[in-house]
Amino acid sequence: MARAVSKRTKVLNTTVAGALGFLLFFPILWIIILSFKTEEDAIRAPLEVLFDSGWTMDSFSAVQARSDYLKHFTNSVIISVGSTLLGLLIAIPAAWSMAFVPSKQTKNILMWMLSTKMLPPVGVLVPIYLLFRDFNLLDTRIGLTIVLTLINLPIIVWMLYTYFKEIPSEILEAARMDGAALREEIIYVLTPMAIPGMASTALLNIILAWNEAFWTINLTAANAAPLTAFITSYSSPEGLFYAKLSAASIMAIAPILIMGWFSQNQLVRGLTFGAVK
């Protein structure tokens, strides 16, 4: 039964929720505002920034003139999409076998995989850096794709495992009775039923890989640098360039924000899958 909510409570809830939402969004809003200011205006007191300065697109043109946005953007796309596809390729069979042919160790393996996410990445920076150096992978897109695949693999496996678990095993047994071999069972029955889950896994991983900053910054210099490294280049020892930094940030997060906006239904459904049917 739905609980009765008074009008006052509703107004109060809406106000509090709205205020919280605004608070969370505020840093992004401030970046957007700063990106349309000159460097001099950007470091003035907040109220002066808002009401006592003009608007300009100069920062954007300055950023584009100094660095090749398109190259970094392409790198970001290749690395995030590439690592997601590679991750799915490894994770689908792994999650399939853990969900449908579990052994006594399945739970332990899953926990062990998750535990690797608890390790601070900086703890393995040196060995990975040295490996990359020896294998000539430093500042290459393939190197970053591999590292991000490995970083996000536990999450991909976990998510897919949860989705596969939701598929009733009787349906797969029915397919087996109907004469489907393992390959046909996966192609005609399992995959179509798992596509919504795979899609949200892929989306989430593209976002995670796109935003990943530790490895992308530490293992690249110029050639393979994605947008995260492109932002960092505007926070330099010579001083902070707030307006340009803001403009660069907007340019870096805009594509993924837009993608997230259009796919939010899929994302929310994917993340709450199983909890809310």
Partner 1 sequence: MGRIQLKKVQKKFGDVEVIPPLDLEINDGEFVVFVGPSGCGKSTLLRLIAGLEDTTSGMIEINGADATDAPPAKRGLAMVFQSYALYPHMSVRNNIAFPMRMAKMSKEEQNKRIESAAIALNLTDYLDRKPGQLSGGQRQRVAIGRAIVREPAAFLFDEPLSNLDAALRVGMRMEILELHKKLNTTMVYVTHDQVEAMTMADKIVVLQAGVIEQVGSPLELYRTPRNNFVAGFIGSPKMNFLDGTEASKHGAETIGIRSEHIEVSTTDGLWQGTVGVAEHLGSDTFIHVHGISGCEPMTVRTSGDVAVRHGDNVFLTPNDAMIHKFNKEGLRI
Residue 192 C-beta: closest distance to partner 1, Å:
4
Residue 162 C-beta: closest distance to partner 1, Å:
18
Asked whether position 187 contacts partner 1 by CB under 8 A, the answer is no
Residue written as tokens 């150096």? Answer: 133
Q: DSSP per residue over 170-224, as a string?
A: HHHHHHHHTT--HHHIIIIIIHHHHHHHHHHHHHHHHHHHHH--HHHHHS-SSSS
Tokens in use for 152? 């996000």
Angstrom distances, CA of residue 203 to CA of 52, 156, 192, 218, 256: 41, 11, 17, 25, 10
Residue 195 C-beta: closest distance to partner 1, Å:
9
Asked if residue 80 lies in contact with residue 206, where contact means CB atoms within 8 angstroms, the answer is yes
Asked whether position 101 contacts partner 1 by CB under 8 A, the answer is no
Asked whether position 94 contacts partner 1 by CB under 8 A, the answer is no
Cβ within 8 Å of residue 124, ≥6 positions away: none
Residue 160 C-beta: closest distance to partner 1, Å:
18
Asked whether position 39 contacts partner 1 by CB under 8 A, the answer is no
Residues 238-277 that bind partner 1 (CB under 8 A): none
**Residue number with CB closer to partner 1 (25 or 188):** 188
Residue 134 C-beta: closest distance to partner 1, Å:
48
Asked whether position 183 contacts partner 1 by CB under 8 A, the answer is no
Asked whether position 180 contacts partner 1 by CB under 8 A, the answer is yes
